[in-house]
Amino acid sequence: MTAFAAVLEPDQADAYAPAQEQFDSIKSRLRSPQAKNWTVNDLEEFLNLEGREILRLFCQGYIDEQGAGAVAEPVVDSNGRQHTHQRLHSRSIATLFGSVTVNRQGYGGGRLESLHPLDAKLNPPPESYSYSLRLRSAEATAKESYDEVVSSIEKQTGVAIPKRQVEELARRAAQDFDSFYRQQRSQSAREVKKTGNILVLTTDGKGVPMLKKDLREATRKAAQEQKPKLEHRRSPGEKSHSKRMGTVAAVYTIDPFVRTPEQIVREFGSARDALPRRPRPEDKRVWASIKHSPEVIIEQMFEEAMRRDPKKSKQWVALVDGNQTQLGLLQCAAEDYGVKLVTILDLIHVLEYLWKAAWSFHKVGSRAAEDWVSERLTRILCGDSSGVAAGMTRSATLRGLSAKEREAVDACARYLLKYREFLRYDQYLAAGYPIATGVIEGACRYLVKDRMEITGARWGLAGAEAVLQLRSLRASGDFDEYWEFHLRQEYRRNHQSRYEKGRVPVPNSEPQSKTKTPYFKLVK
């Protein structure tokens, strides 16, 4: 059934009268006998609910005062077609304070999608949830589970957003992540000079539990072919094959911090000497991706580094954990960008191999094992990794250790010899370079593990990528700047791009009519 509803022109009534009535109602309730015995909690709960309604009514009043958004000039779309047919359309928007209605003039034609100049002025999103709700949903999604986001948004605003819509809002909120970082301008020479002389690039991998359909092909095939020995749990050595490997990256600058090998060894010992205050990473950007390959992420790392140091005046340092694919990609990228890259193997990984080897010679937890590790760590930090490798294998042979007993010793020796090119710690310490991957290890934990591995989580590819991007923006301190960029992109996508040459007709600022007769809106 079709009906016509009367709509008052903006000059016929005070659009904010309902808000004033709500205010008067709240004041009367506060002065009523029933409110005399309220606690502070009762007062807060009442004002939270009824005060939110005042704000909703003010929001509605402002929208009503804009009129229908009629324009005097022709409305021409991006294909050069003029929209001559006019009809009043309505849409609702869920705001922070509740739902409001927008009545706006639509311009269409035969088989033409209507254009609404007032929409371009107000810039609402295509979906029914306002950008302010999208913002709060995105911020919450970056920190907690979807179920918790639904609950917290409803408690804060009174607006119920279904879980599936929260997931969709996260994807929409993150859609400009890559273009945001691509558009950032190179730093000026003055800005480059202000930051530390060392430019650090570091990357690592971290698995994310995925839905089976979004696993990489090899992982999905391995999961299908696996035949578990036990029905309800995995046996030792069996893998779940439920994770897709993501890539985590970080780029930052830092001042040199010169230390001696002895100082480093004492840092790891039980009696730590007080070292000078170490410099903090500057302008740190961290990000993670489950969608892009390591090749793409390393390319992004070098693009980010070039943005910070376009004249290559700093010393570029790459901190790695020994992954061969990663090393090869870093070397190729350095050659492509014409950068002299100093590649350093993370000292913590070396230390782990040393401790395992120590337990082949000494009892676990013994002071002798600690002394053995400290001595060899000192020699490695002095640049003698090859000598340490040769010495420990010779010692294992002289002691007559079996193949099983010396397994950790041989693994450590192979590791030291294989990566000796990246173990020149004497040079790194003298130059003040960082020698540990604490920044990227922390990023793997914060960006991925703390959010993506919550109990029972299984992610789809698009949803996981969006959440990682939102967390990356927060961790890098770029979220606020990104959101302003995102809103500008949304305006271009949803409004400006639909008009000829991107020129949106400006709605009349004055009421269209001075008549006291209401106009009619088609209601279906």
> Which distant-in-sequence residues (6+ apart) come within 8 Å of 312 by Cβ?
338, 339
CA–CA separation, 406 vs 358, rounded Å? 10
**pLDDT, tens digit (0-9, with 9 covering 90-100), for 415-437:** 999 999 999 999 999 999 999 99
Q: What is the CA radius of gyration of the chain?
A: 31
Cβ atoms of 76 and 500 closer than 8 Å: yes
List average pLDDT for each run of 10 residues in the chain, which is 524 residues long: 43 82 96 94 94 96 94 95 96 96 95 95 94 96 93 92 95 96 74 85 93 79 62 55 88 95 83 73 94 95 94 95 93 96 96 96 92 96 96 96 95 97 97 94 92 86 95 95 96 96 85 42 44
Is residue 122 included in any domain, yes or no? Answer: no
What's the angle, vertex CA 462, arms to CA 461 and CA 464, rounded to 5? 65
Is residue 354 included in any domain, yes or no? Answer: yes
> Which distant-in-sequence residues (6+ apart) come within 8 Å of 489 by Cβ?
176, 179
Closest by CA to 354, choosing from 421, 416, 399, 269, is 416
> Which distant-in-sequence residues (6+ apart) come within 8 Å of 432 by Cβ?
198, 255, 256, 257, 258, 259
CA–CA separation, 147 vs 151, rounded Å? 6
What's the angle, vertex CA 22, arms to CA 21 and CA 25, rounded to 5? 90
Cβ atoms of 186 and 307 closer than 8 Å: yes
CA–CA separation, 255 vs 195, rounded Å? 8
* Residues counted in the chain: 524
**pTM (2 decimals)?**
0.85
Is residue 319 included in any domain, yes or no? Answer: yes
Closest by CA to 289, choosing from 142, 466, 460, is 466
Predicted confidence at residue 519, as pLDDT, reads 42
Is residue 342 included in any domain, yes or no? Answer: yes
DSSP state of 444: I
Predicted confidence at residue 235, as pLDDT, reads 52
Is residue 172 included in any domain, yes or no? Answer: no
Number of domains, the chain: 1
Residue 44's identity, in one-letter code, is E
- 3-state helix, strand, coil split of the chain in percent (to 5) is 50, 15, 30
Residue 232's identity, in one-letter code, is H
Is residue 513 included in any domain, yes or no? Answer: no
Is residue 461 included in any domain, yes or no? Answer: no
Predicted confidence at residue 486, as pLDDT, reads 97
Is residue 288 included in any domain, yes or no? Answer: yes
For 513, phi then psi, to 5°, come to -145, 145
Predicted confidence at residue 225, as pLDDT, reads 59
Detail the DSSP E strand segments found in 40-119: 75-76, 82-83, 85-95, 98-109, 112-115
Predicted confidence at residue 6, as pLDDT, reads 40
Domain that residue 336 falls in = 189-224+241-451
